[in-house]
């Protein structure tokens, strides 16, 4: 039996990068339906995937989407809060718009989706929420004050929800994954010299692959992780050793 057989999942930022690979992995593992949410259209075709153009900062869009899913499927088993952006600058040069945009998408967006979907999981007394944080949220990075704050905040919410959503015996688990530097569109703007430096500092000597993050997400989404709750899984090749 496949690991997500019959499950209904929601993945934000599902049209590209890590999110797209998560969607593909969930389908391959038997998910009944995967809702891929993004601000852009996706070309991935499958009868088990529905693409929804949705802004995670728009609460009205989220409410309408969740009500539609609840009416049709009754349950959402898995939520992956993956949508994220960067607007990098040293703090002296970071304007308020850069700060607000990153915080709104990366932090408030996670809050918005979880606030809308967690009650459905708690009502059905089961579910798995996986928040995509970052190694930057754990250790910081020059020029990424806004991004670091947003991803550290995601970790804080993860710990809180791991306690909050398991009250009264509800088996709604909340975990986070903190990827290191991964081969995605976000890294395309990074110079070859910087990438070489990153790889030299990593014991495995390379960038991570989106599938390696998707594999970790799959584990936390599945029943194999039924006793894993309130954990931040670092998938970074040993970058901080």
Phi-psi region of 13 (alpha: psi -120 to 50; beta: other; left: phi over 0): left
Give the DSSP letter of residue 102.
H
Q: CA 61, 63, 67, 70 torsion: positive or negative? A: positive
Residue 61 neighbours by CB under 8 Å, 6+ apart: 54, 55
173 exposure class (CB count in 10 Å sphere: 0-12, 13-18, 19+): buried
Determine how β-strand 49-53 pairs with β-strand 232-235: unpaired
Residue 193 neighbours by CB under 8 Å, 6+ apart: none
Q: CA 181, 202, 212, 184 torsion: positive or negative? A: positive
Alpha helices in 9-134 (DSSP H): 17-28, 59-73, 96-103, 109-124
Tokens of 190: 């990074």
> Active site includes 227?
no
Choose the catalytic residue: 139, 147, 159, 181. Answer: 147
Q: CA 116, 211, 41, 189 torsion: positive or negative? A: positive
Name the E strands within the chain: 8-12, 33-38, 49-53, 78-81, 126-132, 171-179, 232-235
Q: Give the active site residues.
A: 147
């Amino acid at each position: 039996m496949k690991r997500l057989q019959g499950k209904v999942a929601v993945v934000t930022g599902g049209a590209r990068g890590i999110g797209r690979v998560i969607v593909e992995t969930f389908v391959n593992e038997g998910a009944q339906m995967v809702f891929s949410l993004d601000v852009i259209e996706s070309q991935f075709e499958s009868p088990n995937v529905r693409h929804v153009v949705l802004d995670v900062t728009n609460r009205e869009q989220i409410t309408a989407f969740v009500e539609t899913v609840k009416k049709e499927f009754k349950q959402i088993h898995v939520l992956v809060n993956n949508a994220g952006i960067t607007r990098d600058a040293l703090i002296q040069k970071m304007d308020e718009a850069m700060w607000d945009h990153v915080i709104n998408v990366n932090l408030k967006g996670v809050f918005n989706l979880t606030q809308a979907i967690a009650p459905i999981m708690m009502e059905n007394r089961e579910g798995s929420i996986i928040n995509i944080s970052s190694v930057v949220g754990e250790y910081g990075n020059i020029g990424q004050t806004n991004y670091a704050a947003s991803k550290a905040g995601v970790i804080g919410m993860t710990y809180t929800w791991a306690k909050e959503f398991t009250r009264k015996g509800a088996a709604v688990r909340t975990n986070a994954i903190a990827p290191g530097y991964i081969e995605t569109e976000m890294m395309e703007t990074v110079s070859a010299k910087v990438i070489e430096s990153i790889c030299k500092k990593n014991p495995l000597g390379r960038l991570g692959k989106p599938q390696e993050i998707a594999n970790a997400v799959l584990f936390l989404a599945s029943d194999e992780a039924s006793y894993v709750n309130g954990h931040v899984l670092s998938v970074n090749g040993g970058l901080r050793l």
